[in-house]
Chains A and B, each alone.
Chain A
Amino acid sequence: MRRLVIGAVTVLCLVMLLSSSLLAQQRSFTFWSMWNEGEPQQQVLARAIKDFEAQYGVKVDVRWAGREVLSTVRPRLLAGENIDLVDQNAAELYGALVVNNIAGAMNDVLDMVVPGEDKTVREVLKPQSYEGFFKEDGNLYVIPYNLISAGFWYDKDLWNDLGIKPPATWTEFLEVCDVLKANGIDPIAFGLLTEVYRSYFPTEVAVRVLGAGALNAAAGDPAGELFKDPAWVTVGDILYQMSRKGRNLLMQGYEGSVYPAPQTDWVMGLAGMFFCGSWIPVETRPLAGPDFNYGCFIFPAIEGGQGDPTSVRIDPYGFNVLAGAKNADLAKEFVAFFLKEEYCRAWVEETLNMTPRDGIPAPAELADLQAAIERAQSTHTDYDGVHADYPGWYLEVFLPLNAEILLGDITGAEYAKKLSTMTKEFWARQ
Chain B
Amino acid sequence: MRRLRLSEWPRYLVSIFLLLWIVFTVFISAWLFVSSFKSTREIFQGMWKLPSKWTLDNYVRVLRDFGLARYMANSLFVVTVATLLVQILSTPVAYVLARLKFPFSPFVLLCFIAGIAIPVQTIYIPLYLIMKEIALVDTYTGIIWLYAITSVPFAIYLLIGFFRSIPSTLEEAALIDGASAGQAFLKIMLPMARPGIISSSIYVFIMTWKEFELALVFLSLEEKKTLSLGLYSLITRLTYTGDWAGLFAGVILVVVPSTIFYILVARHFISGITAGIGKS
Contact = CB atoms under 8 A, between A and B. Distances in A.
A9 interface: no
Given A38-B67, A68-B216, A75-B129, A287 B44 contact: yes
Contacts of A282: 240-242
A230 interface: no
Contact of A65 (B137, B220, B239): B220
Given A38-B65, A39-B240, A279-B240, A286 B128 contact: no
Contacts of A66: 232-233, 236
Interface residues of B, number: 30
Contacts of A268: 44-45
Interface residues of A, number: 29
A72 to B, nearest CB: 6
Interface in B99-158: 125, 128-129, 132, 137
A287 B237 contact: no
Contacts of A37: 66-67, 222, 233
Contacts of A78: 125, 128-129
Interface in B230-280: 232-234, 236-237, 239-245
B60 interface: no
A79 B132 contact: yes
A51 interface: no
Nearest to A285: B242
Contacts of A36: 233, 236-237
A76 B221 CA distance: 14
Of A40, A76, A81, most buried by chain B (CB within 10 Å of CB) is: A76
Interface in A28-84: 32, 36-40, 63-68, 72, 75-76, 78-79, 81
Top 7 A-B pairs, shortest CB-CB distance: A286-B40, A283-B242, A75-B128, A36-B233, A79-B132, A38-B66, A63-B220
Interface of B: 39-41, 44-45, 65-67, 125, 128-129, 132, 137, 216-217, 220-222, 232-234, 236-237, 239-245
25 contacts: A36-B236, A36-B237, A38-B66, A38-B67, A38-B233, A38-B234, A39-B241, A63-B221, A68-B216, A72-B216, A75-B128, A75-B132, A76-B132, A78-B128, A78-B129, A79-B128, A79-B129, A81-B132, A279-B240, A283-B240, A285-B242, A287-B41, A287-B44, A287-B244, A289-B41
